[in-house]
Amino acid sequence: MLGQLKPFVFEVRYFIGIVPLALLLIARALTSWPRRPIAIGLATAVAAVALGLGLADQQLNGSNPRVYDFKTAVHDIEARAKHGDTIVFTPSYLDHVVGYYEHEGLKLRAMGQDLPEPRRGHKVFVLASFQDKPQFRAAARDAVKRLSRRHHLVHRESVPQITTWEFSR
C-alpha cells in the first residue's frame, strides 16, 4: 500500500530479504486466527487473490513508474549509430546496463565535465535516466545545452524513464 501512495519512497528490492519472513507470518496468521476449516480456506484464498493481483499489477501495468526501457533506448541508438560514435550516459552507474546492450564499435562514456566532441561524420548520443533525481536531470540538461552550442541536435527520443539525444557536427 505504501508503494501505491509514494512510488519512489518504497522500493521492493530494498525489502526483498524480509519477504520470506513476511510470508511465513501471513501464513501463520491465516491458519491460526480463524477457527473453522472453511474460514481458514476462505482467508487463504482471499490472501492468495490479493497477492496475485498485486503481482499482476506490478508486472503488467504499463504505467508502472519502475519500468525502464534501456533495451529500446539503446537499440534505437544502435539503429542510427555507426562505428566510432559515442554514447554518453548519466548516471554513471548505468555503465553495466548500457554496456549489456552496447553495439560493438560504439564508445561508452559516463557523463562528466569533458563531453566528447563529435568528429566530422560521427555522432554523440546522450542517454539520460533517473531524471526524477535533480543531480541527474541537471547533468543531462547541462550536457545537452553544451552540445547544442556547437553541434546539431539531430534526434530526440523518449522511452519509459529514459531520454536520448543525438548530436552531429
In 1-110, alpha helices (H): 2-5, 19-32, 37-60, 70-80, 95-101
Picking from 115, 122, 106, the residue whose alpha carbon sits closest to that of residue 144 is 115
In a domain, 155, yes or no: yes
How confident is the prediction along the chain (169 residues), in pLDDT tens digits per residue?
Answer: 666 676 666 666 677 788 888 889 988 888 888 888 899 899 999 999 998 998 888 777 766 666 788 888 988 998 898 888 889 999 988 888 888 876 778 888 888 767 777 678 889 999 999 888 899 999 999 999 988 888 889 999 999 889 999 998 8
Q: What is the pLDDT of residue 105?
A: 80
Q: What is the pLDDT of residue 62?
A: 67
Q: Same domain, yes or no, for 103 and 149?
A: yes
Q: What is the pLDDT of residue 133?
A: 87
pTM of the model: 0.67
3-state helix, strand, coil in the chain (%, to 5): 50, 20, 30
Domain that holds residue 25: 2-60
Q: What is the pLDDT of residue 155?
A: 93
Q: Same domain, yes or no, for 51 and 105?
A: no
Q: Same domain, yes or no, for 93 and 163?
A: yes
Q: What is the pLDDT of residue 129?
A: 92
In a domain, 143, yes or no: yes
Q: Same domain, yes or no, for 92 and 42?
A: no
Q: What is the pLDDT of residue 127?
A: 93
Q: Same domain, yes or no, for 22 and 75?
A: no
Q: What is the pLDDT of residue 33?
A: 84
Q: Same domain, yes or no, for 53 and 75?
A: no
In a domain, 35, yes or no: yes
Q: What is the pLDDT of residue 110?
A: 87
Q: Same domain, yes or no, for 50 and 116?
A: no
Q: Same domain, yes or no, for 18 and 95?
A: no
Q: What's the structural domain count of the chain?
A: 2
Q: Same domain, yes or no, for 53 and 91?
A: no
Q: Same domain, yes or no, for 40 and 75?
A: no
Q: Same domain, yes or no, for 159 and 85?
A: yes
Q: What is the pLDDT of residue 102?
A: 63
Which residues are paired to 163 by β-bridges?
128, 158
In a domain, 46, yes or no: yes
In a domain, 65, yes or no: no
Distance CA 55, CA 60 (A): 8
86-90 and 107-110 as β-strands: parallel, antiparallel, unpaired? parallel
Q: What angle do CA 151, 153, 156 make, to 5 degrees?
A: 155
Q: What is the pLDDT of residue 128?
A: 94
Q: Same domain, yes or no, for 154 and 86?
A: yes
